[in-house]
């Protein structure tokens, strides 16, 4: 979960809120080569992005 969240924050830098919301867990999982049993980590990162953007708005 830490690697997924870290990658997500790196990808968010310099993006608008709308652009940040387009980051998908599948992109994170692919970039990190996550095995199937760890896919939930990338889902948590995507959910956190969406929640943070929603809270900010």
Average pLDDT, the chain: 94
Contact yes or no for 53/17 (Cβ under 8 A): yes
Return the CATH number of 2-56, one of 3.40.50.300, 3.30.160.270, 3.90.1010.10, 1.10.760.10: 3.90.1010.10
- Sketch the domain layout of the chain as residue ranges: 2-56
pLDDT of 1 above 90: no
Q: How far apart are CA 55 and CA 57, in angstroms?
A: 6
Per-residue model confidence as pLDDT tens digits over 17-33: 999 999 999 999 999 99
Phi and psi for 4 in degrees, rounded to 5? -65, -45
- Predicted local confidence at residue 36, as pLDDT: 94
In contact, 1 and 42? CB cutoff 8 Å? no
- The values of phi and psi at residue 31, to 5°, are -60, -35
22 backbone dihedrals φ, ψ, rounded to 5°: -85, -5
> What is the reported pLDDT for 28?
95
């Amino acid at each position: 979960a830490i690697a997924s969240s870290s990658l997500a924050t790196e990808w968010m830098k310099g993006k608008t809120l709308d652009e940040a919301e387009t980051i998908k867990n599948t992109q994170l999982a692919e970039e990190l080569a996550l095995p199937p049993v760890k896919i939930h980590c990338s889902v948590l990162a995507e959910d956190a992005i969406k929640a943070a953007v929603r809270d900010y708005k």
